[in-house]
Structure 1
Amino acid sequence: MGDGSQAGAARANQDRQPSDYAGAIYGSLLAASVVAGTGPGQEPPHPGELMVLLLATGVVFWLAHVYAHLVGEHSTRALMSWREFRVAGRREWPIVQAAVPPAAAAGIAGLLGVPDAGAAWLALAVAVGSQLGWALYVAARAGATWTRLVAAGVVNLVLGLVIVLLKAALTH
C-alpha cells in the first residue's frame, strides 16, 4: 500500500469516526432545559409547539457546534471543505438526535389527549432519562467500575433534578 492509499484509508476512517456521545448527553441536557424554559409563568406550549421547539433548538445548536468546531479547528485558513463539514456534522449529530425522544413523547402525549402541562412534564422526564441513560452507557462502554457507574448516575440525576426543580419553580 503506497502513501496515497494510506492517506485515503486514513481519510475514510476519519469520515467514519463514531459519533460523539458527549453530544448525546449535552443534547439531552439541552432538551431538558428547553422544556424547563417553556412557558414560565404562563400556559405551557401545546405538544406540537413543544415538538417544534425541541427539534429546532437541537438543529440550531447542532449547526452552532459544527460551525464553532470548523472555525476553531481551521482558523488559519478561510475555506473549509465539504468533507470537513460532513465529518463535523456527523460527529455533532447526536445533539439533534437527543431532541427526538422528548419531542416524540410530547407528540404522543398530545395525540393521547394529555394536557399540555402533562406533555411537557413527560418530555422533561424523557429528556432527563435519556441524559442518564447516555451517561451510564458511555461510562459502561469505557469500562467504568460499579463505583464510577454509580457516581456517573448520581451526577447526572442531580443535573436532571436541578432542571426539574427549575421547571417546577418557573411554572408555579
Structure 2
Amino acid sequence: MPDRADPVRPEDVPPRWIAQHRPPEQALFSGIYGLVLASALAAALDATGEKADPGPDALWVLLTALASGAAHGYAHVIAQRASADRAATTSRRQLVFAEWPLVAAVLPTVAMLLAAVAGWWAESTAVDVALVFNTVALFGWGTWAARSAGHSRPSSCLAGGLDMVIGLVIIVANALIK
C-alpha cells in the first residue's frame, strides 16, 4: 500500500487560501494610496495651537478621498482615451468606480475622528491612533500582497515592513513639524 503522506509544499508557494484571495492589483494600489493619503491628511489636521474641530476635519478627509478617487479614476479615463488602443472595453464609469478602495481606506481614519466628535477621545489622540493604525495596515497589505504573489514568509514580512516605512515617515515628519 502506497504511503499517503501529505505533499510537502515549498516555502515560497503561498497556501491555497492566500492564493485564492489575492487582492486585485487595482484594489491593492488604491487601498495603499488611500492609507497613505489618510495618514498625510490626519497628520496635517493636528496643528499645534489650533482649536480642535474633528467633525469638519473628518468631513475634509472623506471629501479629499472622494475627490482623489474621482480624479484618479478620471485620469484613467483620459489615459484610456488617449491611448493607441482605441478598442478598450472598460467603461468610463467602471474606471472611476474602480477607485473605491482609496475611499474605503480612509474610512477608519474618518471613524476615529468621528469618535473624537462623540467625545470618546481628543482629536490629537484620534490622529495618533489613526497614524498607527494606517501604518500597521500598510504592513498588513504589503505582507498580504507579497505572500499572495508567492513570496516566502520572511520576504513577505520584509515587503510589508518596507510599506510600513511610508507610514513611519509620516509619523516622524508629523512629530518633527509640530
- Is TM > 0.5 for Structure 1 vs Structure 2? yes
Equivalent of 1:60 in 67, 72, 81: 67
Which one has the bigger helix percentage?
Answer: 1
Once the two structures are TM-superposed, the CA of residue 91 in structure 1 deviates from its matched residue by 2.0
Is 2:94 the partner of 1:94? Answer: no
Match of 1:115 in 2: 122
Equivalent of 1:126 in 133, 137, 158: 133
Give the AA of the match of 1:102.
T
Equivalent of 1:147 in 114, 132, 154: 154
% of aligned pairs identical?
28
Match of 1:14 in 2: none
Once the two structures are TM-superposed, the CA of residue 45 in structure 1 deviates from its matched residue by 4.0
Structure 2 unpaired stretches of 5+: 1-23, 85-89
Structure 1, residues 27-48: CA drift from partner, whole Å, max 9, x if none? 1011101111224443264221
CA-based RMSD of the aligned residues comes to 2.4
Match of 1:72 in 2: 79
Aligned residues: 151
Equivalent of 1:157 in 161, 164, 175: 164
The question of whether the paired residues in 1 share the 8 Å contact of 2:46 and 2:127 is answered with no
Is 2:177 the partner of 1:166? Answer: no
Structure 1, residues 63-110: CA drift from partner, whole Å, max 9, x if none? 110111110111269xxxxx6122212321111111101111221243
Once the two structures are TM-superposed, the CA of residue 56 in structure 1 deviates from its matched residue by 0.9
Is 2:170 the partner of 1:137? Answer: no
Residues 123/44 of structure 1: CA separation in 2 closer, same or farther (3 Å cut): farther
Match of 1:5 in 2: none
The question of whether the paired residues in 2 share the 8 Å contact of 1:20 and 1:92 is answered with yes
Cα separation, 1, equivalents of 2:175 and 2:51:
12
Once the two structures are TM-superposed, the CA of residue 168 in structure 1 deviates from its matched residue by 1.1
The question of whether the paired residues in 2 share the 8 Å contact of 1:44 and 1:117 is answered with no
Structure 1 unpaired stretches of 5+: 1-17, 78-82
Cα separation, 2, equivalents of 1:127 and 1:66:
23
The question of whether the paired residues in 2 share the 8 Å contact of 1:24 and 1:94 is answered with yes
